[in-house]
Amino acid sequence: MTPLALGIVLIAAFTHATWNYAAKRAGGGLPFVWVSCCIGLALYAPVVTGYWLWLHPALPAGTIWVVVGSGLIKTAYSLLLQRGYRTGDFSFIYPLARGTGPLLSTIAAIIFFSERPTPLALAGGLIIVGGVFYLTGGASLLHQSRAHLRNAALYGLATGACIAGYTVWDQRAVSHLHLPPILYDCGTSVVMFALLTPFAWQRRTEAAGEWREHRWQAATVAVLGPLGYVLILTAMTFTPVSYIAPAREISIVIGAFFGATLLKEADARRRLVAAAGMALGIVALALG
């Protein structure tokens, strides 16, 4: 990997952890996600219009259904992520979701696409499982006094399942249908907006409150989310994915560090160690 590619990927990892940190600080739910979506679409509008007028891309048949599917998965992902952040610590939810996502993606590829992982990839999967076990406290999670952590862990795992779902879905959409990533991501945002608007209207007082109190956090999510996505796609144009995938997972460690230092969350050492272990496991998955 060239220094330029590594720099791009590390910046993307930092932006990903940063917008998640902003989402945690906001502590919002559906109204916050809707406000972020509105800001994102407002920023996307001139970019997509210019792209369309410049290149006049031809979209394959069935594009609309692929975009709708992505929007459905990412809407569930966004809502589960916010609920997870409201239920548990950032240094707990973020590594759990980001760590289990690639593992579940690999399992899905084995089941649905008959892929056969190498021994190194299998070892990476076991390391991730071990990291999750250590992060959540293992068997002690079953104790009644840790019921709140069980709920947080469920949201983190559900978010990881959504990450796995849209990873596999988007990879197939972009690589097989050759959909332009900018149009694809913008289309996903349109679907999310359409899905969330009826519920946001019913909770318009809360949405107005999110705008007043957390519009900067919402803007951070709206700007850094797509920015990190575009940076990764840019790096992929001149660098093998097998190099990019493991490097970007440094965001897991960055997220755990944010929780430990900026939010002063408890059990920081355990979570940093677990996050580092899961990042190592993802490297093995990618290289395998």
SS3 for 27? coil
pLDDT tens track for 103-147: 777 777 677 767 676 787 778 777 877 777 777 666 565 555 566
d(CA 184, CA 253): 29
**Structural element, H or E, at residue 29:** none
Nearest in space to 242 (alpha carbons), one of 73, 70, 102: 102
Please tell me the distance from the alpha carbon of residue 159 to that of residue 165, in angstroms, as a whole number.
Answer: 10
From CA 275, how far away is CA 24, in angstroms rounded?
18
Residues 26 and 210 sit within 8 Å (Cβ to Cβ) = yes
Q: What is the pLDDT along the chain (288 residues), one digit of tens a residue?
A: 677 877 888 898 899 999 999 999 988 889 999 999 999 999 999 999 999 999 888 888 888 999 999 999 999 999 999 999 988 888 888 888 887 777 777 777 677 767 676 787 778 777 877 777 777 666 565 555 566 677 888 888 899 888 888 877 877 777 778 888 888 889 999 999 999 999 999 999 999 999 999 999 999 999 998 888 778 777 766 766 556 666 677 788 888 888 888 888 878 788 888 888 877 877 776 676
* SS3 assignment, position 61: coil
43/36 Cα distance (integer angstroms): 11
Residues 6+ apart with CB under 8 A from 79: 29, 30, 33
pTM of the full predicted structure? 0.83
The pair of three-digit structure tokens given for residue 11, joined into one six-digit string: 């910046």
